Amino acid sequence: MLYSQTTKYCVIALATLARQQSTHGVRIKDIARDTGIPGPFLARLIPLLVKAGLLSSRRGRNGGLRFARPAAEIHLADVVRITEGDIFFEDCLLTLEACNGGADCSLHSVWGPLRDHIVSFLEETTIEDVARAALVGPKSTRETAHWAGEGRPGVRSEVREKEPPDEGTE
Residue 98 has a pLDDT of 64
Total-model pTM: 0.74
- As a whole number of Å, the CA-based R_g of the chain is 19
What domains, with CATH codes, occur in the chain? 5-84+127-148 (1.10.10.10)
Alpha carbons 98 and 91: distance in angstroms, whole number: 6
Alpha carbons 65 and 136: distance in angstroms, whole number: 24
Chain segment 24-70, per-residue pLDDT in tens: 789 999 999 999 999 999 999 999 999 999 999 988 877 889 999 99
Chain segment 75-97, per-residue pLDDT in tens: 999 999 999 988 777 777 666 76
